[in-house]
Structure 1
Amino acid sequence: MSKSTAPLIGLTLDSEEAGGYSKFPWYALRQNYCSSVSEAGGVPLVLPHEPAAVERYIDLLDGLIVTGGAFDVDPALFGADAKHESVTTKANRTQFEWAITKGMLARNKPVLGICGGQQLLNVVLGGTLIQHIPDAVPNALAHEQPNPRDQAGHSVRIAAGSRLHAIVGRDELPVNSAHHQAVDKPAPGCIVDAVAPDGVIEGIEHPDYRFCIGVQWHPEFFISEGDRALYAAFIEAAKS
């Protein structure tokens, strides 16, 4: 049955150690992660990393956005024998995001992974990651773009027949880019729905779930109508 009220959308927070904003550990999230949810018709709710609260969060939420951040999923979680020197991890954040993502998927509630959130989603589902694109992809694009994040860094090709293609209604989208890792082996059952010109995987989806999509770019900046359409589809799925 469709909900008559706006769906409640959880957003994972980043965490930092003492320094900068506070002399004590603190959480952070860009405002447009929340405003984009509001503009699309949802109610944003940020989620502190409280493991004991995961099941209660899942009870409350109609959908989940796993956000990005300047850190990486621990390579041990996808079976890597070594960790690239560029890799930095945040164990508590990853533990929390892992638990809430698995829980939301287990209840078939909509999940949207953004940038690092897509990488986490792929690993949770059983896939692997490229630990550092410049060392793994010959002639790679500048996936950590030098221009501002509210501008496009490159384009992506959207796979015909994918759910993402049905949502955005286009074969190609301009996207922003702020990552040094990417999906390597897609998780079992996942479909690659977006690819950069250098072959780097930019989008995945799992058709067995009501809504399970990850994108490597940051659609919360709404730099294209495709980004808006993705948010609208996610919010619509969270209403059902």
Structure 2
Amino acid sequence: MTSQAKAPLIGLTLDSEQPGGYSKFPWYALRQNYCSAVTESGGVPLVLPHEPTAAARYVELLDGLIVTGGAFDVDPALFGGGAKHATVTTKDARTQFEWAMVKGMLAADKPVLGICGGQQLLNVVLGGTLIQHIPDAVPNALAHEQPNPRNEAGHDVAITPGTRLQAIVGRDALPVNSAHHQAVQQVAHGAAINARASDGVIEGIEHAGYRFCIGVQWHPEFFISEGDRALYAAFIAAAAKS
């Protein structure tokens, strides 16, 4: 693990909530383990408010970017998905900011890790499309919104042989937690599928044209497997070279 003085600076995107609950005014949210997973893996976490005009400066400062999940969906207008499904909830300011951050980090060839909704956004930024609601599109789909706690596995994924993800985790399958109703439909040109669920749902993507560009549909920040730890370690190691 690198010393804190030399540890890479990792940006994490925030979710946003309307007034109510924590505050009577709009507020940001992020689970603590998104940050602790970075620290435990040798990085320094920095959370990023949704300020698109600051994106270029953030890109200069950061060594790596994690696009987090949250209670939102990518607007289907951004990938030609037609009318919004009744279950789709967008957060346009968040998506605008994350779009700018992903584009900027990839242009600078700095590592990007997309988690859950972050993986979906990554695929759309790269030019791919999404399934708007898995139960309506995938026959006999697994419970991708798992009923058990998120710090437990909900199902397994098969890791695609020969992918960077397989090289990182060193396994052909992983137990994963699952908290999503959307998924990658058409993988972006130049990207590859690195994980699938048994019902065929795409659970991970990567792009070999960048130094580190990986998205996973599950939440590895919970470290429910050694594969999750290995993924974070590989991301931080790549960021340390930025």
Q: TM-score range, shorter-chain basis?
A: over 0.9
Q: How many residues align?
A: 239
Taking the aligned partners of 1:157 and 1:95, their CA distance within structure 2 comes to 32
SS of 2:114 mapped into structure 1: strand
Q: Which letter maps to 1:199?
A: G
2:187 maps to 186
Map 1:120-131 to 2 at 5 A. 120-131=121-132
Shift of 1:16: 0.6
2:233 maps to 232
Shift of 1:83: 1.0
Shift of 1:97: 0.3
2:55 maps to 54
Deviations 1:100-152 (A, max 9, x none): 10000000000000000000000000000000000000000000000000000
Percent identity between the two aligned chains: 80
Taking the aligned partners of 1:15 and 1:70, their CA distance within structure 2 comes to 9
Taking the aligned partners of 2:40 and 2:180, their CA distance within structure 1 comes to 25
Provide TM-score, normalisation by structure 2.
0.97
Taking the aligned partners of 1:81 and 1:226, their CA distance within structure 2 comes to 36
Shift of 1:66: 0.0
Q: Which letter maps to 1:116?
A: G
Map 1:61-140 to 2 at 5 A. 61-140=62-141
Map 1:174-213 to 2 at 5 A. 174-213=175-214
Say what the alpha-carbon RMSD is for the aligned residues.
Answer: 1.1
Taking the aligned partners of 2:24 and 2:162, their CA distance within structure 1 comes to 50
Shift of 1:70: 1.1
Q: Which letter maps to 1:239?
A: A
Shift of 1:61: 0.1
Taking the aligned partners of 2:232 and 2:170, their CA distance within structure 1 comes to 14
Taking the aligned partners of 1:65 and 1:216, their CA distance within structure 2 comes to 13
Structure 2: which 5+ runs fail to align?
Answer: none
SS of 1:123 mapped into structure 2: helix
Provide TM-score, normalisation by structure 1.
0.98
Shift of 1:200: 0.1
Deviations 1:42-71 (A, max 9, x none): 000000011111111001000000000011
